[in-house]
């Protein structure tokens, strides 16, 4: 009998090289859909979907994720919501959801630096197309990737305006690949909303990630 050939696992294609090396996770994980609309009051932007979010095809679906309880505690919505309500938020609350990286993973550390960089131009294109008033980045790391520079702790939870013209300049010339402790930060978001006269700009708002993938 000849040597037995071990078939290579398909897990590496589904989860990426780092997770395949760790030998954990689930196969055939799928990205989750964005929930977007024109002129949203707030566009929540996450890093990438976790395992549970991919399996349920909803945003922030991890059992320990504080996003949905904090959203209610902040007063931004008038009733408790769960991940299953994410698709209703653009129409009902003028809030949308997207991610910098679409590929699901067990941990954000499984996403390569190149994948983060490759997500910047598509995200900027979404902002140009849908023109949200406020973009809330759920995590310091994705905010730094979006800006292309390091940010200081003093810049967290502080609104920063950028014009749509600046976004357009950043998109068009590019030829290279490119819990309760969270609730108080959610409560500061409405104050960042610009008036209609300021609709040449979008407000970028970085805050602490609710975690709990």
Catalytic residues: 48, 59
The DSSP bridge partners found for residue 97 are: 35, 44
* Among candidate residues 136, 134, 125, the one with its CA nearest the CA of residue 170: 125
Q: What angle do CA 110, 176, 119 make, to 5 degrees?
A: 35
Q: At what angle do helices 120-130 and 164-171 cross, to 10 degrees?
A: 140
Are 135 and 203 in contact, with CB atoms under 8 Å apart? yes
Q: Which two tokens stand for residue 167?
A: 């976004």
Helix, strand, coil % in the chain, rounded to nearest 5: 40, 15, 45
């Amino acid at each position: 009998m000849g040597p037995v050939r071990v078939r290579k696992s398909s897990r590496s294609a589904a989860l990426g090289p780092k997770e395949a090396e760790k030998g954990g996770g689930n196969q055939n994980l799928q990205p989750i859909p964005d929930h977007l609309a024109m002129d949203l009051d707030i566009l929540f932007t996450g890093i990438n979907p976790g395992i549970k979010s991919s399996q349920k095809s909803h945003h922030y679906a991890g059992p320990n994720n504080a996003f949905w309880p904090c959203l209610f505690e902040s007063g931004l919505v008038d009733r408790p919501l769960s991940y299953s309500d994410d698709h209703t938020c653009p129409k009902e609350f003028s809030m949308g959801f997207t991610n910098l990286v679409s590929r699901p993973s067990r941990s954000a550390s499984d996403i390569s630096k190149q994948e983060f960089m490759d997500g910047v131009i598509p995200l900027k294109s979404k902002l140009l197309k849908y023109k949200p008033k406020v973009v809330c980045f759920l995590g310091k790391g994705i905010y730094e990737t979006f800006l292309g520079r390091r940010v200081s702790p003093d810049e967290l939870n502080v609104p920063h305006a950028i014009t749509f013209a600046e976004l357009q300049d950043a998109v068009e010339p590019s030829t290279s690949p490119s819990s309760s402790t969270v609730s108080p930060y959610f409560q500061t978001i409405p104050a960042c909303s610009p008036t209609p006269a300021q609709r040449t700009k979008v407000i970028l708002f970085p805050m602490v990630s609710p975690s709990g993938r």
